[in-house]
Every structure is written in C-alpha cells, then in structure tokens.
Amino acid sequence: QVQLVESGGGLVQAGGSLRLSCAASGRTASNYLMGWFRQAPGKERDFVSALRASDGRTYWGDSVKGRFRISRDNAKNTVYLQMNSLKPEDTAVYYCAAKLGPGVSGAWEYWGQGTQVTVSS
C-alpha cells in the first residue's frame, strides 16, 4: 500500500505562483508513476501532469503546458508541481496520484486527499 500526502495549496492572485508537493510512503516500485489531477466544482476530474520515476519522463495534459513544471526528489519519494502564471481557470482541488508504469493509461491505484488551489482575478 502507498500513502500520498499533498501540500502547498492556497489563495493567490492571477499571475502568481504556487508549488505543490506530494510525499509518498509505503511500498513502491521503481516503475511507478506519480502525477497530478485536478477537479473544479461542477467539472470532471482532469489530468494535469505525471512523472515516471524510473527515467524521469514527463506527461502533460492539454491545458497547462508552458506554465507548469513537474519534478521529483527520489530520495524523499516526493514529486512537485510548480505552477506559474496562474489563471482563475486553474482554481480546483489538486490531487496527487500514483500507479504502475509504463504509461499513464489505465487505473491510478493510489490517491491523496487533495489540496485546494484558488486563483483570484
């Protein structure tokens, strides 16, 4: 079992930045992927980004390329989401998730509780 804990959410002005963190604990494998999803009120859950632990390959959703960056600290089993140039449309609960590789298709087995990101105009 893998446990995921997110942190770093908050309230920011449009154009500002936040860095989200997701710390993983428990039993993990070298081919796990860790990633981020988000869900706004009344909307479906949307894929944001993911990173493959074995080689650092990244995957991106369509809405945030060029503004967000994903990174890792393998020694701490932690993945980060650096969010820049934030827009009100980015307001959502952001969830950390993990799954076995090799890619992002299929079920994501493990989920964190979520952290709220609110971007004001």
- CA distances in angstroms from 58 to 1, 34, 61, 73, 101, listed in the order given: 24, 10, 10, 14, 12
Query: 74 vs 72, which has greater pLDDT?
Result: 72
Position 111 scores a pLDDT of 97
Q: How many CB atoms are closer than 10 A to CB 65?
A: 9
52-64 residue pLDDT tens: 988 999 999 987 8
At residue 39 the predicted structure's pLDDT band, cuts being 50, 70 and 90, is very high
Position 74 scores a pLDDT of 82
Position 72 scores a pLDDT of 92
The shares of helix, strand and coil residues in the chain, as percent rounded to the nearest 5, are: 5, 55, 40
Q: Which of 55-59, 74-78, 97-101, 106-110 has the lowest mean pLDDT?
A: 74-78
